[in-house]
Amino acid sequence: MNLDFTKLDGLVTAVIQDHATSRVLMVGFMNEEAWRKTVETGFATFYSRSRKKLWLKGESSGHRLVVKEIATDCDQDAVLLKVEAIGPGVCHEGYQSCFFRKLDDGEWKTSDTRSYDPEAVYKG
């Protein structure tokens, strides 16, 4: 289950896709420890570049990502995780997917409606 962590300063790209709908929910990065934890626990775990630490997705919101299937690409520097997303949405801004803005006539426009209230989930 080796991956190539050398091409992105110790990280691989992780694409998260809903296993039932095939919607792409988010993109994150994993270092070797996050990758190992993801495989061992079955919950998607990332490396936060801004906070410089491991980040179990859902640790504050409860919106965990249960891993159903893992694939890697030809040069093994990216992984594709098919997941069951626990809860109403993956995005901390209250949407089902982080990809809630579409390019429309040269501008980003919000194309989804919120699936939950982020203030209520992330308060405190």
Query: From the list 36, 42, 102, 122, which residue makes contact with its own copies (rule: CB under 8 A)?
Result: 102
β-bridge partners, 30: 12
Instruction: Give the span between the Cα atoms of 24 and 79, in whole angstroms.
Output: 13
If one asks whether residue 70 binds its own copies (CB under 8 A), the answer comes out as: yes
If one asks whether residue 24 binds its own copies (CB under 8 A), the answer comes out as: yes
- In 3-61, which ranges are continuous DSSP H helix? 32-41
Contact string 27-66 vs its own copies (x = CB under 8 A):
x-----------x---------x-----------------
Query: From the list 17, 31, 45, 96, which residue makes contact with its own copies (rule: CB under 8 A)?
Result: 17
Q: Please choose, from the candidates 41, 54, 42, 43, the residue with its C-alpha nearest in 3D space to the C-alpha of residue 11.
A: 54
Instruction: Give the span between the Cα atoms of 69 and 93, in whole angstroms.
Output: 26
Q: Give the angle subtended at the CA of 13 by the CAs of 75 and 110, to the nearest 5°.
A: 130
Binding residues (CB under 8 A) for its own copies: these are 1-2, 7, 13, 15, 17, 22-24, 26-27, 39, 49, 69-76, 78, 80, 91-93, 95, 98-103, 106-108, 111
